[in-house]
Copies of this chain bind each other. A is one copy, B any other.
Amino acid sequence: MIIDCHGHYTTVPDAHKRYRQQQLAGERPAPADITDDEIRETIEQNQLRVMRERGSDLTIFSPQASAMEHHVPDPQVATDWARACNDLIFRVTELFPRHFAGVCQLPQTPAGNLDACVAELRRCVEELGFVGANLNPDPSGGHWTSRPLTDESWFPLYDALAELDVPAMIHVSASCNPNAHTLGAHYLNADTSVFMQLVEGDLFERYPTLRLVIPHGGGAVPYHWGRYQGLATRLERPPIEQLLRNVFFDTCVYHTPGVALLARVVPVENVLFASEMLGAVRGTNPETGSGWDDTKRYLDALDLPEDDRRKIFEENARRVYPRLDTRLGQMV
């Protein structure tokens, strides 16, 4: 089977967006009343249609990343918003259990608020059957006012991730800084910054089973693999290959040469198929007639050995997301 480890619910019913607007206007609205049919329609006409067209089977699905808006400082707003978004994801996974598995949004805020994040993570994993979480390394939205992810202030969250045995995908939300476009700079820069934080720190000595997925092909990292190898040596850090026990990269790189570099540089065990389809780069490449985010085509073009393909398209995801593996096993 083909598992896409990186999809967001970018096509939510309008009522959910109105709920958010009311929230941001300072109201304390109840989450929108959305019917199963409305959810079905937004999924069947969008993500599921595209999955069928492209031949993928299951998407690891989370709330829209840019709409997480962790820069909004009110902890209660963050908690209500994360719950509403995650509940919607849960309903998608209930309506289409063979096609979607849930990953949760955490109610992060710039000031921290990890108790609420841990509580929501537990709720989503233990009660809603989610298989992972998205972790925002910059809740400020482009101002980078929090501590690096290796700082002990984050440890309560890692304790819970390790205990629940679910990975976190590193994923920022919208940029509030005009210097860094959300999709064209902030996302990639966050991926790059976090990898270097992990090079500098000793996070996985304390959390040997913690698994982090760095999306968007790892930002700039695989393209600059030699730079990181050299920097690790110069900074007297362990070889960066040690990080690969715990760090994984997705394939959200939207042209063949980029995906080819990723597959050449990063060991095949650390590459997880993903498209982030109907996400950052919607639309069709006029030169190829295919969607920019149809990353399966770029991988297919590489003519990888069948063993490698199986790892990238399925086995790595089942290993990194063991609760997904369990879930799939229960469905057989």
Binding site for B on A (CB under 8 A): 137-138, 142-144, 146-148, 177-181, 183-185, 188-189, 192-193, 195-197, 199-200, 216-217, 219-220, 222-231, 233-234, 253-255, 257-258, 260-261, 264-265, 280-283, 285-286, 292-293
Chain B nearest CB, measured from A103 CB (Å): 22
For the complex, give the distance between the alpha carbons of A302 and B234 in Å.
Answer: 27
Q: Judge whether A226 and B192 touch: CB under 8 Å.
A: no
A-B contact pairs, 26 of them (CB 8 A): A138-B179, A144-B180, A148-B178, A179-B197, A181-B199, A183-B227, A184-B200, A184-B227, A185-B193, A188-B189, A188-B192, A188-B220, A189-B220, A192-B192, A192-B220, A217-B224, A223-B223, A223-B261, A224-B254, A226-B253, A227-B280, A227-B281, A231-B281, A233-B286, A257-B261, A260-B261
Q: Judge whether A231 and B179 touch: CB under 8 Å.
A: no
A227 surroundings in chain B (CB, below 8 A): 183-184, 216, 253-255, 280-281, 292
Contacts A178-B148, A188-B192, A261-B258: A285 and B197 contacting too (C-beta < 8 A)?
A: no
Contact of A177 among B137, B144, B180, B260 (CB under 8 A): B144
For the complex, give the distance between the alpha carbons of A200 and B183 in Å.
Answer: 12
Contacts A192-B185, A231-B183, A261-B261: A216 and B224 contacting too (C-beta < 8 A)?
A: yes
A199 surroundings in chain B (CB, below 8 A): 181, 184
Chain B nearest CB, measured from A229 CB (Å): 7
For the complex, give the distance between the alpha carbons of A229 and B220 in Å.
Answer: 17
A142 surroundings in chain B (CB, below 8 A): 144
For the complex, give the distance between the alpha carbons of A59 and B204 in Å.
Answer: 41
Contacts A223-B261, A230-B285, A285-B230: A185 and B179 contacting too (C-beta < 8 A)?
A: no
Closest to A196 in B: B184
Secondary structure at chain A's binding surface: helix, strand, loop or mixed?
helix
A254 surroundings in chain B (CB, below 8 A): 224, 226-227, 229-230
Chain B nearest CB, measured from A183 CB (Å): 6
Q: Judge whether B180 and A193 touch: CB under 8 Å.
A: yes
A147 surroundings in chain B (CB, below 8 A): 178-179
For the complex, give the distance between the alpha carbons of A146 and B143 in Å.
Answer: 12
A233 surroundings in chain B (CB, below 8 A): 283, 286
Which are the 6 A-B pairs with shortest beta-carbon distances? A226-B255, A226-B254, A230-B292, A220-B220, A184-B196, A223-B223
> Most chain-B CB neighbours within 10 Å: which of A148, A234, A261?
A261
A143 surroundings in chain B (CB, below 8 A): 143-144
For the complex, give the distance between the alpha carbons of A178 and B200 in Å.
Answer: 10
For the complex, give the distance between the alpha carbons of A143 and B147 in Å.
Answer: 13
> Most chain-B CB neighbours within 10 Å: which of A178, A225, A282?
A178
A293 surroundings in chain B (CB, below 8 A): 230
Chain B nearest CB, measured from A79 CB (Å): 25
